[in-house]
Amino acid sequence: MALQTPKQRAANAKFAKKNTNKQGKPRDVAVKTEFPLPKSWIFVLLFLVCGGAVLELIRFFF
């Protein structure tokens, strides 16, 4: 493994700072990620699936 000289280390730190300013700071991984579907759509999908299953059970028994 090659060791960096203090001059190279300073140049790398300067480049990393410039690059971060240009691209923006990385998001923290621990930040809560949003679910892609809103809760209302999840309820609608559950209603459709469970409602269909209930209707099939009713049709099966009667």
What is the tens place of the pLDDT at every residue in 13-41?
A: 998 888 877 776 666 655 666 778 888 99
- Is residue 24 one of the residues assigned to a domain? yes
Where is pLDDT greater, at 49 or 31?
A: 49
Q: From CA 50, how far away is CA 62, in angstroms rounded?
A: 18
Instruction: State the total domains in the chain.
Output: 1
Answer whether residue 36 is part of any domain. Answer: yes
DSSP summary character for residue 30? T
Q: Quick check: is 47 in a domain? A: yes
1 is a domain residue: no
Domain that holds residue 48: 6-61
pLDDT value at position 33? 66
**pTM of the prediction?**
0.39
Give the chain's end-to-end CA distance (angstroms, integer): 76
Within-domain flag for 39: yes
- Specify if 35 maps to a domain: yes
Q: Which distant-in-sequence residues (6+ apart) come within 8 Å of 12 by Cβ? A: 4
